[in-house]
Amino acid sequence: MDHDLIRRLYGKGARVYDAVFGPLLDRGRRMAVDAVNASDAGSVLEVGVGTGRSLPHYRADLDVTGIDLSPEMLARARARGAGLPQVRALLEMDAQNMSFPDAHFGAVVAMYVATVVPDMARLFDELKRVCVPGGLVLVVNHIAAEAGVVAAFDRLVAPATRAVALRSDLRLSALVATAGLEPVGVDDAGIGGYIKLIRFRND
C-alpha cells in the first residue's frame, strides 16, 4: 500500500462512499463520537474524517479538527461541516506525519484508517504524540477474527484486499501490540462484531 494508491482509490470513490459504506460504518462513528462527547476533552482530532459523516454529531462546544489524505473526500466533508460551530478545520494531511504540535488535542479518534495506512506503527506514534497525556485515543476499525472459519477467510482474501489499499486480516492483538497502549475498553461497533471501537488512555 502507498499514499498515491490510497489517494486515487478514495478520490474515485468519494462520490459513492456515503451510499455504499456510510450506513454500514456509521454505528462505529457514532459510538466514537459519543465517547468523545461524554469525556472532558475540549478539542478533538478526527483522523480519516472522510466525507464528514460524524461532524454534525460532536458537541457544539467542542473544537473539532479533521484530516484526510483525499481532497475529494475532504471537499464533501467541508460541505457537510459548513456552518457547524464545532468544526474548526478540515485539512489534507498524512496521518503518519502530522504537522500539529505535541499534546495538542484532548482526544484523538482514528476512523477506519488503521488497516489503510502503509505503516500502522507510525500512525500510532503520531496519534499518541498529538494527544494530551491522559487523553483518549479511540480507534474504530474492522478487526479480523482470531480463529475459526471467519479468520481463515480473512487470511485468504488478505492479498486481494491489499491490492485495493486495505488489510482484511488485522487482529485485535496485533493492533494493541502496535499501539503500545493498554486498552481501557473494546466494544462491538457493527457488522456482527467485525467492527470494533477500541478505547485507549494516552498514559
Separation of alpha carbons 150 and 152, rounded Å: 5
pLDDT for the residue numbered 161: 38
The number of C-alpha atoms within 13 Å of 78 and in the hemisphere containing its C-beta is 12
Whether the CB-CB separation of 90 and 77 falls below 8 Å is answered with yes
Q: Which CATH superfamily is domain 3-201 in?
A: Vaccinia Virus protein VP39 (3.40.50.150)
**The three cell numbers locating residue 188:** 462491538
Domain boundaries in the chain? 3-201
Structure confidence by residue, pLDDT tens digits, 131-150: 999 999 999 999 987 654 44
Residue 132 burial (10 A CB sphere; 0-12, 13-18, 19+):
middle
Whether the CB-CB separation of 72 and 11 falls below 8 Å is answered with yes
Write out residues in the chain with pLDDT < 70, as ranges.
1-22, 24, 146-168
pLDDT for the residue numbered 19: 52
Separation of alpha carbons 66 and 83, rounded Å: 15
**CA-wise closest residue to 5 among 49, 70, 56:** 70
pTM: 0.83
pLDDT for the residue numbered 135: 97
pLDDT for the residue numbered 21: 63
